Amino acid sequence: MNYLFTICGRAGSKGLANKNISMFCEVPLVYYTLSAIALTAKQLVSEGNEYKVALNTDSKQLKDLVMNQQILEILCVDRESELAGDNVAKVTVIKDTLNKAEGHWKCKFDYVIDLDITSPLRTLSDVLNAIKVKQLRAGDTDVVYSLSPARKNPYFNMAKKINGYYEKVIHANYISRQETPPVYDMNASIYVYEPNALREKEPTTFFNDHADAIIMRDTAVLDIDCLEDKEMMEILAKYYFFVKFDEYKEIFEYAKSLLQK
């Protein structure tokens, strides 16, 4: 099998300025994604597979950060201006990266794995699990992506405002959250795509059908979109996950090593 890992990051950010080039626990945030890619790639190569890595960005600072490490060979795809706006679906950017990567390397990829920069608390087993599920559902799913159990449930304790009043998101008569259908947060961490689906499927409906998922530890995932998110994640990481769990510490230690290569 031939795998393409993608890293996608725009310049700037409205929620947290320059978040993709920020530091996280004294390590560049993007290095956690590179760490997860490198460790996953080692496992894939040991099983006789091949892989490539592509960065899609319009940020010179992010490009410099990624290219300064010496562990991974990475193709830099310069993001076109029409793909750099707020209203461009990330799936569209990944599709562009896939097409340009296949053109550059003159090959076809069997799977595309996107690891989001702003979700640093993932483990090697999380990524491998997503790949395994996609392989088991080959030809049956367009994507396998990561979820975490939701702490709020639209059938029970989530509300919306309509015509000046508030009401439940879904009208239901459950008396406890335990009775409700389970729901999950899309935690924006791991995606394993079918290349043909990326090429052919409408981006805005991509996750509405033919998708499967893995479930990650809920407290480990908080997509960084503002300063408070980042500060909370750093506290959780530094004083809990990197101390209590070897699998999270493994990603952290490898990310630190990238600073020295």
Q: How many other C-beta atoms can be found within 10 angstroms of the C-beta atom of residue 37?
A: 22
Q: How many other C-beta atoms can be found within 10 angstroms of the C-beta atom of residue 153?
A: 21
**CA-CA distance, 118 to 13, in Å (whole number)?**
11
Structurally, what CATH architecture does the domain formed by 2-148+184-258 represent? Answer: Alpha-Beta Complex (3.90)
Q: When comparing pLDDT for 18 and 3, which is higher? A: 3
Mean per-residue pLDDT of the chain: 92
Residue tagged 């006789």 (tokens): 48
**Residues 51-96: pLDDT tens digits?**
999 999 999 999 999 999 989 999 999 998 888 777 888 999 999 9
Q: Is the pLDDT of residue 219 over 80?
A: no
Element of type H or E holding 54: strand 50-57
Helices 124-136 & 246-258, crossing angle to 10 degrees?
100
With beta carbons less than 8 A apart as the criterion, state whether 188 and 223 touch.
yes
**CA-CA distance, 199 to 104, in Å (whole number)?**
17
**CA-CA distance, 6 to 122, in Å (whole number)?**
16
pLDDT attached to residue 31: 97
Q: Residue type at 66?
A: V
Q: Which of 27-41, 73-87, 123-137 has the lowest mean pLDDT?
A: 73-87
**CA-CA distance, 198 to 98, in Å (whole number)?**
9
Nearest partner of 42 among 259, 256, 250, judged by Cα = 250
| Half-sphere CA count of 12, side-chain side, radius 13 A | 4
**CA-CA distance, 250 to 28, in Å (whole number)?**
16
pLDDT attached to residue 18: 82
Give the pLDDT mean for 135-141.
Answer: 92
Reported confidence tier of residue 147, pLDDT bands at 50, 70, 90: very high
Task: Write down the pTM of the prediction.
Answer: 0.93
Element of type H or E holding 124: helix 124-136
